[in-house]
Each structure stands twice: as structure tokens, then as C-alpha cells.
Amino acid sequence: MAFVTTPATLEHAVPAMDNAEVLRIRNDFPVLDQLVNGRPLVYLDSGATSQNPLSVIEAEQEFYEQRNAAVHRGAHHLAVEATEVFEDARQAIADFIGAEYAETVWTSNATEGLNLVSYALSNAALWSARGRGDARLKELAVGPGDQIVVTEMEHHANLIPWQELAFRTGATLRYIPIDDSGALRLDLAAEILASKTKVLAFTHASNVLGTINPVKELVALGRAAEALVVLDACQSAPHLPLDVKELDVDFAVFSGHKMLAPTGIGVLYGKQDLLDVLPPFLTGGSMITTVTMERAEYLPSPQRFEAGTQRISQAVALAAAASYLTETGLARVHQWETELGQRMVAGLEALPGIRVLGPAAGQERIGLAAFDVEGVHAHDVGQFLDSRGIAVRVGHHCAQPLHRRLGLTATTRASAYLYNTTDDVDAFLEAVAGVRSYFRV
């Protein structure tokens, strides 16, 4: 029996996942038990949206059946119970990522979380200039002469908010480039960061390349530049153990729909001393202490950033998803997905006319593979695979600059999760092997 021993977060070796266990896990996911175009569904698009286990579906349904009420707004029994499960969910997610309760803010998705931080930073300059808020806002304010740094491999959600922050404030946006293989040019990073950098934002794991970036090394470069460090954890939080305190990032975001939970729920982690100082992004009810006709005073985090009626059932379901992953063991999930990812990449590299992006077989990556089929457009590849019951993602995967840098407009991406077997990967590889002959390339 294989054992997992490599992840540093494991105190003791535990049995590795295998196909037999995954087949039992699949029973928890009703959507996977269906035929597509007359063939068993092979779902390899979890990098876009994962499927939901029964425990998550039932958690949301149970909320609506037994506890549906507005939170923080009533003294009646249902309102009290709804508030309790809502805030219990927050604590569960804080524990899941190694954060504190007040450092965990609900958002609609990771994109909103990144926009929240970017707008809060531009509001910091406005508040500071007008003598409003904490004196520390002056240090956080972004303006002309400042620099915001991202990487060339970012998802649009971790690029466009920073472009717009630079536009609003007069700051300069720069990026750490990649080399021809897709790896970050870390040899250039220190020089790029040297010029009064206020923000360093980067992805933990690339949704196109599969690369797992060296977070601690990048954080150290950010600290040397006295920059705020923002981590896009969308492709890491669902797949590998994540401890935001150990990584020492200032902010991190991830989305529920990529980690077995419903759409419409995401999480922003932020260090409490930063969240309590930053101005809010969205304003309205539930995030205030005192309101007059002239002005308002705001609560500390997390309510400071949670205006209006919240995503209550989705938060409860996200906590159930975190519980499911914790019980399965994220280190075990990561080990299994690594095995699947390596199987995908090695199989694709062996096929003629296939170009795989990101680390080669044998090198560290998450369980996804984006590839180009010579002479066949990615959308045609996706439709061919769908005709065989295989669901993948096609397009630029919200990473146009990255594709452009690699000389491509679109790729096909297969992404595995804890409910995929080696048979799924083999069926995918067998289908891809027939693409070029089918299109007579």
C-alpha cells in the first residue's frame, strides 16, 4: 500500500488514495452518475467549477428547510439560529485556512475579494487625504510614483483589478515575466519590485500552466520591498493544504465553486490589523455602528466588508465542503491529483502534435493540463471530447496575456479532482489521441 509522506503538513504518514477509494467517493456526487452522448460522464473541468457532494447539497437544503432567516437582524428563534450557523461557517473556513475568525470575509467569489482589496486601497488614499480614518491609511494609500506588481501568468481576476487601481490612482503596473517554458523569471523579480512597490499580487497555482509558485520566496521579495502581498488561492485552496499564517501573505482569496461548494460564495482572508484600518468597499446596512444624515461609522472586520443581506446558505454549504475535504485529507487529495496530473501530462507528451503548457512530466504541478493540438482549434477539440462524454474547458481560461506570451489564442484544459480515477484520465488520453485523425490533420 502506498503512503503519503511528502507534504510538510502531515505529522504522520497516512494511506494514499487509490481508485477503489475514489470510486466510493464518486457515490457522493450524484451529477457524475449520468451518461453524456451515450457514454459515462468523465468530468475533467473542476478547475472551472467542481461538483457538489450530497453533504454540501443537503447542508444548503437543510438551512432553507429549517433555519431560513436574515442574519444579524432579528431576535426571533430562526434569526438567532441562522446567525449562529452563518458565523459557525465563518469559523470553520477560518480554521480550514489557518486564519482567525475576524480575518475571514465573505464575498461572492474570489474576483469580488480582489476588487474589494483594490478599491479599499484606492479609498485609503481618499480617506487619508481628507483626514478620515486611521493614521496608518497614509502608509497603505496608493498613488502616483507607487508601483503595483503582478505576474505574466495571472488570471484576469488578479490582473484587471490592479490595472484599474493603477488607473484610478496614477500608480504604475508592472509584471514579473515568464520564460518560454512558462516559469516565472524570479531572477528579475527583485529588480522589478525595487521601485516603491505597494502591492505584489500573484497566483499560488496557475489555472493554465499547473505551476505551483514558490509562495515563500515571493513573499520574502514582497517583504523586502515593503509591499502588501496578495495571494490568489483559487487553484490551491481546494487541492492542497493551505495555511495563510505560515505563508505570511497579507491577503488571500478563493472561491467556493472550485472546492465542492455552490456558486455565489467566496472568501477574502486579510490580516486583521489591515482589515480593521482599510475603508470599506461596498456600503449599506449591517456593516455600520452609527449613521446620521451626514456620515456613517463602520464596524471592524469582518462585518466592515459585508454590506447588505449575506450569502447565508452558500456560506453554510462552503463550510460543509471544507469539512468534506478535511475528512478526506487535503494532503491525500493533493497526492492523488498529483498522480493524475502526471499521468495526464506524460500521456499527452507522448502523443504527436500535442504541446502541453507548463511543467513537463515529472516536475511539480497541480492536477491539470492545458494543451494545444497542432492544426485543430481548441473549441473543436472540446466538442470532439464532449461527443465522447468527456468534459474539459476550452478557450483562453481568462488568461489572455499568458496565452499571447506563449504564442497561442486558446488551449484545451483537463483538470482533475478527488472524484476522478486513473480510468478517467486514460479515457481522456485515448480520446485526445484520436483528435488529429478525426479532423484529418
CA 27 from centroid of its chain's CA atoms: 25
Binning pLDDT at 50, 70 and 90, where does residue 25 land? very high
- Report, as residue numbers or ranges, the catalytic residues: 398
Q: Return phi, psi of residue 149, to 5°.
A: -120, 130
For residue 255, the surrounding DSSP H or E stretch is strand 251-255
Output the pLDDT for position 73.
Answer: 82
Q: What is the CA radius of gyration of the chain?
A: 22
How many CB atoms within 10 Å of residue 133?
Answer: 18
**β-sheet bridge partners, residue 42:** 390
How much is the mean pLDDT over the chain?
95
Nine-digit cell at 330? 487535503
The percentage of the chain sitting over the pLDDT mark of 70, rounded to a whole number, equals 97
pLDDT in tens, 327-336: 999 999 999 9
Output the pLDDT for position 195.
Answer: 84
Q: Which among 143, 114, 88, 119 has a CA at the least distance from the CA of 278?
A: 119
Are the C-beta atoms of residues 342 and 318 closer than 8 Å to each other?
Answer: no
Q: Is the pLDDT of residue 6 over 70?
A: no
pLDDT in tens, 117-130: 999 999 999 999 89
pLDDT in tens, 61-106: 999 999 999 998 888 999 999 999 999 999 999 999 999 999 999 9
Output the pLDDT for position 361.
Answer: 96
Cα separation, 155 vs 143, whole angstroms = 24
Q: Is 173 helix (H, G, I), strand (E, B) or coil?
A: strand
How many CB atoms within 10 Å of residue 197?
Answer: 22
Q: Got the DSSP string for 256-284?
A: GGGTTSPSS-EEEEE-HHHHTTSPPSS-S
Output the pLDDT for position 13.
Answer: 64
Cα separation, 114 vs 108, whole angstroms = 11
- The letter for the amino acid at 383 is Q
- Domains of the chain, first to last: 3-52+329-438 (3.90.1150.10), 67-326 (3.40.640.10)
Are the C-beta atoms of residues 148 and 160 closer than 8 Å to each other?
Answer: no
Cα separation, 358 vs 162, whole angstroms = 25
Cβ neighbours of residue 324 closer than 8 Å, sequence gap 6 or more? 28, 53, 55, 56, 260
Per-residue pLDDT averaged across 150-164, rounded?
98
pLDDT in tens, 394-439: 999 999 999 999 999 999 999 999 999 999 999 999 999 999 999 9
Of the candidate ranges 6-10, 220-224, 313-317, the one whose mean pLDDT is the lowest? 6-10
Per-residue pLDDT averaged across 239-250, rounded?
98
Greater confidence (12 vs 407) lies with: 407
Torsion angle, CA of 78/83/86/91, rounded to 10 degrees?
-140
Per-residue pLDDT averaged across 247-252, rounded?
98
CA distances from 14 to 67, 261, 330, 422, 431 (A): 38, 26, 11, 20, 34
Binning pLDDT at 50, 70 and 90, where does residue 15 land? confident
Are the C-beta atoms of residues 358 and 344 closer than 8 Å to each other?
Answer: no
How long a stretch of residues is the chain? 441
Are the C-beta atoms of residues 288 and 298 closer than 8 Å to each other?
Answer: yes
Quote the pTM value: 0.95
